[in-house]
Amino acid sequence: MSQPKKEPIKNGKIWVVFGVLIALITPWYFPESFGEMLVYGVPLWAIFIIAASLLLSAFLSYVIKYHWMLEEEEEEHEQEGVN
């Protein structure tokens, strides 16, 4: 049995993960030494932020696909039952 989908705004776990990922892409907390460390000529903080951005994008895709309840889908199912 699959559980009914509910809006992601009502799911606290999703908000916690969003908060962590948003904090990871904010560069204000990195120490100054992160700017001096280079990986293939790119500062370490930039690589860290790019990786966190990719994680955020993947998580957003997951939430939209599996947790977002679209009213159009429900309306289509109702119309199929009526016709």
How distant, in Å, are the alpha carbons of 13, 25, 71, 76 from that of 5?
A: 15, 29, 11, 16
* Domain spans of the chain, in order of start: 8-82
Percent of the chain clearing pLDDT 90 (strictly above) = 25
Least confident residue range of 22-26, 43-47, 48-52, 70-74: 70-74
Is the per-residue pLDDT at 18 higher than 80?
A: yes
Residue type for 65, please?
A: K
Give residue 40's pLDDT. Answer: 92
Give residue 69's pLDDT. Answer: 72
Query: Whole-model pTM?
Result: 0.69
Is the per-residue pLDDT at 14 higher than 50?
A: yes
The mean pLDDT value for 59-71 works out to 82
